[in-house]
Amino acid sequence: MVNPIKSYRNTFIILTGVLLLIFMINISLGSVYIPLKQLFLAFIDGEVEKESWKSILLDYRLPKAITAIIVGSGLSISGLLMQTLFRNPLAGPYVLGISSGASLGVAILILGASFFGATAASYAFSSWGHAIAASLGAFLVLSAVMLAAIKVRNTMSILIIGLMFGSLTASVISVLAYFSSANQLQQYLFWSFGSLGNLSWNEISVLLIVFLIGMTFVILIIKPLNSLLLGENYAKSMGVNVKRTRNFTLISTSLLTGVITAFSGPIAFIGLAVPHLTKLLFSTSNHKILVPAVAISGAIIMLICDSIAQLPTSEYTLPINAITSLFGAPIIIWLLIRKRKITY
Amino acid sequence: MDLKTKHIIKTSNLSIGYSSKKNVNTIAANLNIELTEGKLVCLLGKNGIGKSTLLRTLTKVQPALCGEIFINNNNLKALNSIDLAKSLSLVLTEHLPENNLSVYELVALGRQPYTNWVGNLSEVDLEYISKALEQTNTKHLANAKYYELSDGQLQKVLIARALAQNTDMIILDEPTAHLDMHHTIETFTLLKKLAKEFNKTILVSTHEINLALQLADILWLMTPSNFMADTTENLIENNCLDQLFDSDLISFNKTLKQFTISNSY
């Protein structure tokens, strides 16, 4: 009998092609028009008609596109892991308050900087400082939600607990904001709008390193995640170390959500919507297929959202969060109405 | 006792129950059970008597209060989770979480204790999966999503998953709780076939007493005061079945070999 577990090779090839295409489109779009030919020239031999074009491409558009890819993949993978672990189709880094936890970490760093004195303040604005604070915040909230999830089996209660943690961290941030200077407040506010741009190559390498560490943990739990599809008791009976799987999920989601939120602000709906769209496309629950598929789809959708956000041919850029919500919320509503239920 | 006899399950002075810091709640004590291969065993007892607790203890989901459990002559305490998964497989009552798994993928998950770190299926794995689908007569369902199945079909698929795990013993917790009479009988005859033809030891907790009396090789009876394990004939002979329910409503009819409603109601 032939193994009927599909490999989806063709779908993957098409998806990767789409990713490359969107990547090129994303880079070619912006307030300054750069001819396609010059675009290729800039990457191939570095000879471009105008020096400013090269600088726009290499110092602004390329880092932004790479950031979009990492952010889209990372958040979508986090969402996928949470949906499987919490057996909850509505789980995601934003919904469960993980992004809020990361925000709290950054808020304490930016808004609370005056409390810690000058040394802490100077450290606070380094990229590693942001990343560590946000990951710690994400880790704290996620651990709390997981502890609650062990006690409370009901999936609806877990969502509500996540929402409550979100409100809790929001209120702590408001208190911090109340005592902050206008300057700090503005800095925090701009960060919280979400943005993929303005990352130096240095910051991108931090983002990439942490992303790769997080993804390593994800790859290690692909097999146990599949058995968790039958529930914890079945997973245990098949020799799966559920505790280890839970811890690895905790580590990887905190790292991914934490570092991404640190650099690009809390980004809504990507983590929730992309896994569902991917499952619709691939119609499987096998994580060996889903993990790479969700990563590529997340990157594609984030690049599309970013292309829309920069309002091609105009000089305005919309906050990325507005676009992801505009795109994500209707998709979830549509999925719920179309299937009357969503699986994970 | 013959030393060479392979005991699929053996317990010595086993006590089961729950213990907390304050008190110990013993459900059954001094259980000495021996089970050899190729037997269909039905665990009978009224609601709340502790059937699930016994199964949970035997499968290492919860610890024994005292005493020892041996699976394939290995002490349960010393078995790691992978070796245990290669010795016994489960079919549980709980609802499966909603997802997109196909029947084939679900059955293939039974191979997890044997596959490599990323779960790739080898030729051997594919053979076991194929065999499990054949034995349960579910091959035609392989490409269906499991949520499209009827309860009866799903139960067979879950048994196929346990078979793919290739264990000497399969433990089922009330597998026919949601099934109609036809599918209940179908499930039980399937289990009987697996025990008889493929030498599996099958332990089923169930409320289908009349079916158990007809099909089981061995019955385990749990009553508030007692635990009895013996062949059906011996238990009937010794009037043990009357103790199962301390009720005036039903009684065991020795000639019919089944429970009937008492005339005195």
CATH number of domain containing A182: 1.10.3470.10
Give A314: exposed, middle or buried? Use CB within 10 Å, 0-12, 13-18, 19+: exposed
Kindly give the residue spans of alpha helices, DSSP state H, lying in B39-180: 51-58, 81-87, 103-108, 123-135, 151-164
CB-CB: which of A226, A341, A344 is closest to B119? A226
- d(CA B135, nearest CA chain A) in Å: 14
- Cα-Cα-Cα-Cα torsion B114, B119, B125, B128, nearest 10 degrees, comes to 80
Residue B169: which H helix or E strand, with range?
Answer: strand B169-173
Query: What residues of chain A have any CB closer than 8 angstroms to a CB in chain B?
Result: 1, 3-5, 87, 89, 219-220, 222-223, 226-227, 229-231, 233-234, 236-241, 279, 283-286, 288, 341, 343-344
B155 touches A at CB < 8 Å? no
Q: How confident is the model at residue A129 (pLDDT cuts 50, 70, 90)?
A: confident
Q: Which residues in chain B are contacts of A89 at CB distance < 8 A? A: 98
The answer to whether residues B163 and B67 touch, using CB atoms and an 8 Å cutoff, is no
Distance CA A235, CA A224 (A): 7
The answer to whether residues B115 and B196 touch, using CB atoms and an 8 Å cutoff, is no
Amino acid present at A290: L
CB-CB: which of A1, A223, A233 is closest to B94? A233
B228 touches A at CB < 8 Å? no
Judged by CB atoms closer than 8 Å, whether chains meet at B109 and A223 is answered as no
Judged by CB atoms closer than 8 Å, whether chains meet at B97 and A87 is answered as yes
Q: The dihedral of CA A308, A310, A315, A318: what is its sign? A: positive
Judged by CB atoms closer than 8 Å, whether chains meet at B109 and A227 is answered as yes
The answer to whether residues B253 and B260 touch, using CB atoms and an 8 Å cutoff, is yes
- Cα-Cα-Cα-Cα torsion B252, B255, B257, B261, nearest 10 degrees, comes to -40
Lowest mean pLDDT among A63-77, A142-156, A186-200: A142-156
User: Chain A: residue nearest B123 by CA?
Assistant: A3
What is the token pair recorded at B201? 């030891």
The yes-or-no verdict on residue B1 having pLDDT over 50 is no
Number of domains comprising chain B: 1
Judged by CB atoms closer than 8 Å, whether chains meet at A239 and B90 is answered as no
User: Chain A: residue nearest B142 by CA?
Assistant: A4
Q: What are phi and psi of A218, to 5 degrees?
A: -60, -45
The yes-or-no verdict on residue A342 having pLDDT over 80 is no
B123: Cβ contacts below 8 Å, ≥ 6 apart: none
The answer to whether residues A59 and A255 touch, using CB atoms and an 8 Å cutoff, is no
CATH number, domain containing residue B129: 3.40.50.300
- Average of per-residue pLDDT across A232-236: 92
Judged by CB atoms closer than 8 Å, whether chains meet at A237 and B82 is answered as no
Distance CA A267, CA A306 (A): 12
Lowest mean pLDDT among A152-156, A234-238, B13-17, B56-60: A152-156
Q: Which residues in chain B are contacts of A241 at CB distance < 8 A? A: 81
The yes-or-no verdict on residue A24 having pLDDT over 70 is yes
Distances (CA, A) of A108 to A7, A134, A206, A253: 46, 10, 21, 21
Distances (CA, A) of B143 to A111, A226, B106, B146, B156: 56, 18, 10, 9, 15
Q: The dihedral of CA A301, A306, A309, A313: what is its sign? A: negative
Residue A6 lies in a domain: no
Q: How confident is the model at residue B201 (pLDDT cuts 50, 70, 90)?
A: very high
Judged by CB atoms closer than 8 Å, whether chains meet at B105 and A241 is answered as no
Give B43: exposed, middle or buried? Use CB within 10 Å, 0-12, 13-18, 19+: buried
pLDDT attached to residue A59: 85
pTM: 0.88
- d(CA B80, nearest CA chain A) in Å: 8
Residue B88 lies in a domain: yes
Judged by CB atoms closer than 8 Å, whether chains meet at A236 and B113 is answered as no
What is the token pair recorded at B174? 């009330």
pLDDT attached to residue B203: 96
Residue B143 lies in a domain: yes
Q: What are phi and psi of A292, to 5 degrees?
A: -65, -35
Q: Which residues in chain B are contacts of A234 at CB distance < 8 A? A: 90, 92, 109
Q: Which residues in chain B are contacts of A288 at CB distance < 8 A? A: 118-119
What is the token pair recorded at A226? 């599949």
Domain encompassing residue B96? 38-60+84-261
Domain encompassing residue A331? 12-339
Q: What is the mean pLDDT of chain A?
A: 85
Residue A114 lies in a domain: yes
Give the residues across from B261 on adjacent strands.
B250
Distances (CA, A) of A123 to A103, A202, A266, A308, B191: 17, 16, 21, 34, 67
Amino acid present at B255: T
